[in-house]
Chain A
Amino acid sequence: MNIYAAIEIAVFFVILLALVKPLGLYMARVYRGTPCGLNQVLLPVERLIYRLSGVRPDSEMTWQRYAVAMLLFNLIGLLAVYGIQRAQGWLPLNPQHLGPVSPDLALNTAVSFASNTNWQAYSGESTLSYLSQMLGLTVQNFLSAATGMAVLVAFIRGLTRQKVAEIGNFWVDVTRSTLYILLPLSFVLAIALVSQGVVQSFGPAVDITTVTASTDAEGKPVQTQQIPQGPAASQIAIKQLGTNGGGFFGVNSAHPLENPTPLSNFLQVLAILLIPAALCYTFGDLVGDTRQGWTLLASMLLVFVPLLALGLWAESVGNPQLADLGVDANASLQQSGGNLEGKEVRFGVGASVLWSAATTAASNGSVNAMHDSFTPLGGLVPMLLMQLGEVIFGGVGSGLYGLLIFAIVAVFIAGLMVGRTPEYLGKKIEAFEMKMAALVILIPPTIVLAGTAFAVSFDAGRAAVTNPGPHGFSQILYALSSAGNNNGSAFAGLGVNNVFYNSLLAIAMFGSRFWLIIPVLAIAGSLARKKQVPISAGTLPTHTPLFVVLLAGIVVLVGALTFVPALALGPIAEHLQLLSDSAP
Chain B
Amino acid sequence: MEPLQSTSRGSSGNPVANLDGSREPAGGTTILRELQQTLMPALVLFLVLTFVTGVAYPLAVTVVAQLAFSSAANGSLIGDPQHHVGSDLVGQSFTEPRYFWGRPSATTPAYNGLGGSGSNLAVTNPALMDAVKDRIARLHTVDPDNTAKIPVDLVTASASGLDPQISPTAAQYQASRVARERGLPLEQVTKLIGQHTQMPTFGFLGQPRVDVLRLNLSLDSLK
As a 0/1 sequence over residues 1 to 31 of chain A, the CB contacts with chain B under 8 angstroms (1 = contact) are 0101101100100000000000000000000
Give the interface residue-count category, chain B: 35 or more
Stretch of A299-307, A346-354, A514-522 at the chain-chain interface: A346-354
Output the residue of B54, B111, B204 with the most chain A CB within 10 A: B54
Q: How far is the CB of B54 from chain A (nearest CB, A)?
A: 4
Stretch of B15-23, B91-99, B174-182 at the chain-chain interface: B91-99
Chain A residues lying within 8 Å of B85, measured Cβ to Cβ, are: 208-211
Chain A residues lying within 8 Å of B112, measured Cβ to Cβ, are: 225
Query: Would you call B50 and A135 a contact (CB within 8 A)?
Result: yes
Chain A residues lying within 8 Å of B213, measured Cβ to Cβ, are: 211
Query: Would you call B48 and A52 a contact (CB within 8 A)?
Result: yes
Chain B residues lying within 8 Å of A226, measured Cβ to Cβ, are: 113-114
Query: Would you call A493 and B121 a contact (CB within 8 A)?
Result: yes
**Bound-complex Cα distance A334 to B210 (A):** 10
Specify which of B34, B74, B116 is in contact with A255 (CB 8 Å cutoff).
B116
Q: How far is the CB of A383 from chain B (nearest CB, A)?
A: 13
Interface residues of A in 256-295 (CB under 8 A from B): 256-257, 260-263, 265-266
Let me know if B4 is at the binding interface, CB within 8 A: no
Query: Would you call A68 and B35 a contact (CB within 8 A)?
Result: yes
Given contacts A80-B50, A251-B118, A578-B123, contact A325 B94 (CB under 8 A): no
Chain B residues lying within 8 Å of A256, measured Cβ to Cβ, are: 89-91, 160, 162-164
Query: Would you call B120 and A466 a contact (CB within 8 A)?
Result: yes
Specify which of B62, B84, B116, B169 is in contact with A250 (CB 8 Å cutoff).
B116
Query: Would you call B41 and A341 a contact (CB within 8 A)?
Result: no
Query: Would you call A49 and B204 a contact (CB within 8 A)?
Result: no
**Bound-complex Cα distance A338 to B42 (A):** 51
Query: Would you call B55 and A344 a contact (CB within 8 A)?
Result: no
Let me know if A108 is at the binding interface, CB within 8 A: no
Specify which of A134, A142, A345 is in contact with B165 (CB 8 Å cutoff).
A345
Minimum CB distance partner of A474 in chain B: B122
Query: Would you call B201 and A208 a contact (CB within 8 A)?
Result: no
Give the interface residue-count category, chain A: 35 or more
Chain B residues lying within 8 Å of A141, measured Cβ to Cβ, are: 53
Given contacts A52-B48, A256-B164, A335-B167, contact A225 B55 (CB under 8 A): no
Query: Would you call B45 and A171 a contact (CB within 8 A)?
Result: yes
Q: How far is the CB of B5 from chain A (nearest CB, A)?
A: 20
**Bound-complex Cα distance A179 to B132 (A):** 50
Let me know if A418 is at the binding interface, CB within 8 A: no
Minimum CB distance partner of B170 in chain A: A335
Q: Sorted from nearest, which 10 A-B pairs have the closest CB atoms?
A: A262-B206, A493-B120, A254-B159, A335-B167, A328-B149, A370-B118, A348-B207, A214-B93, A7-B204, A471-B122
Query: Would you call B49 and A322 a contact (CB within 8 A)?
Result: no
Interface residues of B (CB under 8 A from A): 34-35, 38-46, 48-50, 52-55, 57-58, 60-62, 64-66, 68-69, 72-77, 83-96, 99, 103, 108-126, 128-129, 132-133, 136, 148-153, 155-170, 172, 200-201, 203-209, 213, 216-217, 220
Q: How far is the CB of B125 from chain A (nearest CB, A)?
A: 5
Query: Would you call B163 and A344 a contact (CB within 8 A)?
Result: yes
- Between-chain CB contacts (< 8 Å), 15 pairs: A7-B203, A52-B44, A73-B42, A134-B58, A199-B74, A227-B90, A231-B61, A234-B58, A251-B159, A257-B90, A342-B158, A343-B158, A345-B209, A348-B206, A348-B207
**Bound-complex Cα distance A81 to B12 (A):** 33
As a 0/1 sequence over residues 179 to 203 of chain A, the CB contacts with chain B under 8 angstroms (1 = contact) are 1000100110011001111111111
Query: Would you call B111 and A214 a contact (CB within 8 A)?
Result: yes
Q: How far is the CB of A188 from chain B (nearest CB, A)?
A: 10
Q: How far is the CB of A437 from chain B (nearest CB, A)?
A: 27
Chain B residues lying within 8 Å of A2, measured Cβ to Cβ, are: 207
Query: Would you call A335 and B113 a contact (CB within 8 A)?
Result: no
Q: How far is the CB of B46 from chain A (nearest CB, A)?
A: 5
Interface residues of A (CB under 8 A from B): 2, 4-5, 7-8, 11, 45, 49, 52-55, 65, 68-69, 72-73, 76-77, 80, 123, 125-126, 134-136, 138-139, 141-143, 171, 174-175, 178-179, 183, 186-187, 190-191, 194-203, 205-212, 214-217, 222, 225-229, 231, 233-235, 237-238, 249-251, 254-257, 260-263, 265-266, 318-319, 321-322, 325-329, 332-348, 351-352, 367-370, 372-376, 466-471, 474, 491-493, 574, 577-578, 581
Query: Would you call A469 and B90 a contact (CB within 8 A)?
Result: no
Q: How far is the CB of B119 from chain A (nearest CB, A)?
A: 7
Specify which of B116, B118, B160 is in contact with A372 (CB 8 Å cutoff).
B118
Specify which of B54, B166, B172 is in contact with A134 (CB 8 Å cutoff).
B54
Query: Would you call A319 and B53 a contact (CB within 8 A)?
Result: no
Given contacts A229-B74, A256-B90, A467-B124, contact A126 B48 (CB under 8 A): no
Q: How far is the CB of A118 from chain B (nearest CB, A)?
A: 15
Minimum CB distance partner of B39 in chain A: A72
Chain A residues lying within 8 Å of B87, measured Cβ to Cβ, are: 208, 227, 257
Minimum CB distance partner of A135 in chain B: B54
Chain B residues lying within 8 Å of A249, measured Cβ to Cβ, are: 116
Chain A residues lying within 8 Å of B99, measured Cβ to Cβ, are: 211-212
**Bound-complex Cα distance A126 to B113 (A):** 11
